[in-house]
Amino acid sequence: MCNIIPLPVLYQPSLGYFPLTTETRIQFDESNAWNAAFLRNLLSPATGIGLHSSPADLPVEGAIRLHLDATLARLGQEGYRLEVRPGGVDLAACTTAGVFYGFQTLRQLLPVEIEERSPAQANWHIPCLLIEDWPRFPWRGFMLDEGRYFHGRDTVLQLLDLMALHKLNVFHWHLTEDQGWRIAVKKYPRLVEIGSHRPGTYRSMFSSRHDGCPHGGYYTREELREIVAYAAARHITIMPEIEMPGHSLAALAAYPEFSCTGGPFSVATRFGIFADIYCAGKEATFSFLQDVLSEVLEIFPSPFIHIGGDEAPKKRWKACPDCQRRIRKEGLKNEEALQTWFTNRIAAWLESRGRRLVGWNQVLGKGLAQGAVVQYWLGDLQEVSAALKHERRQFVMSAYLDTYLDHGYNLMPLSRAYRYEPLPAGLDPEEQSCILGVEFPLWTEWVPSRARLDYQAFPRLTAMAETAWTPAGKKELADFHRRLEPFLRRLELLGVRPASLSEVEPGWLRKKLGVFTIPLPQRKTAPPAP
């Protein structure tokens, strides 16, 4: 039975095993040197096998062969073919990304103990089979909000490794917020000097004061470059998000001259939506934002740059002489139209530098620049369908009640996370192709620690990764639960502390929906110490 997550498209088991022995070789062509190193790092410590490398021109008996094969373009740019026979393993794809995903599958054909990277255990072998596999969507995203809480380099690197295991390929990095600015900008040093720290945090909606515990942190340019390269080696694009015009209080605390009123402001210690946003009337605001974005583009090669655009109250713009002058000068109808004008100005600036703007679906106003990609999270799905049909607008889908990892398990149980279908009904195939994919956001207002992050994200992200990769018709909840058991042990050996299976599906809901057709497996190993 297949234990792999996400479930492969075609899976054909056969008899026998390929044994890993001291004679096992990894054969690879030049372009797969990095993939081969990755495989050797996984296999060598646990198996105690000194894996030898050799060129991959011809298959060698007893070898694991990684190579490119142009004929496999029929499986798409990220697809792969994996054949395990008693005499050898052949992993091929038309790109190194495909081989990398094949490696993530091969890894799950080995006992979970392989992840311990501990010295020799006994009798490692891989079951014989043929897999041909490719993703459903080209955009398979995970978003981390580090504006609310800074989690830091080590956590991000580990999350990138976990994304790779799940065959996810877009890390949407929410780096600026009312509560913190997390990215060093040479031209505006106060963004991190002032904007990256707050004196405390209101720990609940009902607190009457903040907790008095200072919180802060930011990434240097060197760290960002390191993280971008680490992601690229795992075929993950990092799409930075620099929020505008709203959720910008930390930046305005540092540079109040880019607001409507001139401030002064402080970095937010509460969560919510704040009235003070960037002024759309002052030219200086655009010089500032373009300077910031110029430095962002130097670091992030992503073709997509996210500018937020959600939750921008218009109170200040309504009262601001500069914003009102802009509305008159540009012949705009109102402040909503001013936000579209603002977004289009940034979109054009990005486009002239070869990048595309992405915004949350509040940017979807009349006249939004054609090239802008919209991330749907809340509101009328009819608007998505209309924009698809009339403008061929491209979307990424992140429905609030089905993909937000910050929800409690009572609101979004594992079964709901698994069942999410990103394509709105009633689209023809050409319209469907405008949905680039799906993304799973983790907002961190209530996620101050790594333990909480793990609990919120796992195992729901595991369920969601299957939606992003596997054809909808092949998904099945009971079978997913069966495959989840070994996968959870793998996650635990990788240092993750997922929510326990008794917590991910509130009991009353389980009864009501009858979602579990097989008994839930109990976790066997204790989670590792923090």
Interacting residues toward ligand ACM by CB under 6 A: 310-311, 360, 377
Q: How far is the CB of 279 from Zn ion (least distance, A)?
A: 3
Q: Which tokens in the block code for residue 445?
A: 């207002």
* DSSP H/E element including 261: none
Between 253 and 327, whose beta carbon lies closer to Zn ion? 327
Task: Output 377 or 455, the one with its CB closest to ligand ACM.
Answer: 377
Pick the closer one to Zn ion by CB: 209 or 329: 329
Burial of 358 (0-12, 13-18, 19+ CB in 10 A): buried
Which partner, ligand ACM, Zn ion, none, binds residue 279 by CB below 5 to 8 Å per kind?
Zn ion
* Nearer CB in complex with Zn ion: 167/326: 326
Contacted entry of ligand ACM, Zn ion, none for residue 377, CB cut-off 5 to 8 Å set by kind: ligand ACM
The structure tokens listed for 269 are 């210690």
Nearest to 28 by CA among 115, 89, 117, 78: 89
Q: C-beta of 360: minimal distance to ligand ACM in Å?
A: 4
Which of ligand ACM, Zn ion, none interacts with 171 (beta carbon under 5 to 8 A by kind)? none
226 Cβ neighbours under 8 A, 6+ residues apart: 153
* Residue 323 interacts with which of Zn ion, ligand ACM, none, CB < 5 to 8 Å by class: Zn ion
Q: Which residues contact 306 (CB under 8 A, 6 or more apart)?
A: 172, 174, 239, 240, 241, 242, 357, 358, 359, 375
Contact 114, 107 (CB under 8 A): yes
CA dist 240 → 135, 170, 344 (Å): 23, 10, 18
- How many degrees, rounded to 5, is the angle at CA 456 between CA 455 and CA 458? 70
Q: Residue 20's binding partner, choosing from Zn ion, ligand ACM, none, with beta-carbon cut-off 5 to 8 A by kind?
A: none
Q: Does 277 bind Zn ion (CB under 5 A)?
A: no
Give which of Zn ion, ligand ACM, none residue 281 binds (C-beta under 5 to 8 Å, depending on kind). Zn ion
Site string for Zn ion, 307-346 (x = CB under 5 A): -------------x-xx-----------------------
Q: What does 322 bind: ligand ACM, Zn ion, none (CB cut-off 5 to 8 Å by kind)?
A: Zn ion
CB of 337 to Zn ion, least distance (A): 15
H-state helical runs in 94-246:
96-109, 153-165, 190-193, 221-233
The CB-of-359 to Zn ion minimum distance in angstroms stands at 20
Q: Please answer whether residues 432 and 423 qualify as being in contact, where contact means their C-beta atoms are separated by less than 8 angstroms.
A: yes
Residue 168 identity (one-letter amino acid): L
Beta-bridged to residue 63, according to DSSP, are 25, 88
Residue 311 binding target from Zn ion, ligand ACM, none, CB below 5 to 8 Å by type: ligand ACM
Q: Which two tokens stand for residue 368?
A: 């939004």
Instruction: Return the one option of ligand ACM, Zn ion, none that residue 387 interacts with (CB less than 5 to 8 A, by type).
Output: none
Closer to ligand ACM by CB, 443 or 455: give it. 443
Q: Please give the Cα distance from 105 to 133 (Å, whole number).
A: 10
> In whole angstroms, what is the distance from residue 346 CA to residue 391 CA?
20
Smaller CB separation from ligand ACM, 310 or 431: 310
CA distance 105 to 72: 17
CA distance 256 to 284: 11
- Residue 292 binding: pick among Zn ion, ligand ACM, none (C-beta 5-8 Å cut-off by kind): none
Least spacing, CB of residue 322 vs Zn ion, in Å: 4
Query: With CB under 5 A as the contact rule, which of the stretches 79-87, 110-118, 200-208, 260-268 interacts with Zn ion?
Result: 260-268
Closest to ligand ACM by CB, 143 or 163: 143
In the region spanning residues 383 to 422, those forming contacts with Zn ion, defined by CB under 5 A, are none
**Do residues 234 and 159 lie in contact, with contact meaning Cβ atoms separated by under 8 Å?**
no
Rounded Cα–Cα distance for residues 99 and 211 (Å): 49
- Residue 258 binds which of Zn ion, ligand ACM, none (CB < 5-8 A, kind-dependent): none
| Minimum distance from residue 368 beta carbon to ligand ACM (Å) | 16
Q: Would you say 259 and 278 are in contact if contact means Cβ atoms under 8 Å apart?
A: yes
Report the residue number, 258 or 271, with the smaller CB distance to ligand ACM. 271
Query: What burial class does residue 71 get, using C-beta atoms within 10 Å of its C-beta: 0-12 exposed, 13-18 middle, 19+ buried?
Result: exposed
Rounded Cα distance between 190 and 199, Å, is 16
State the minimum distance, in angstroms, from the CB of residue 455 to ligand ACM: 20
286 is a site residue for Zn ion (CB under 5 A)? no
CA separation for the pair 181, 146 (Å, rounded): 9
Residue 260 touches Zn ion, criterion: CB under 5 A? yes
d(CA 176, CA 159): 19
| Residue 308 Cβ vs ligand ACM, minimum distance, rounded to whole Å | 7
Stretch that binds Zn ion, among 52-60, 175-183, 223-231, 271-279 (CB under 5 A): 271-279
Q: Where along the sequence are the contacts to Zn ion (CB under 5 A)? A: 260, 279, 281, 320, 322-323
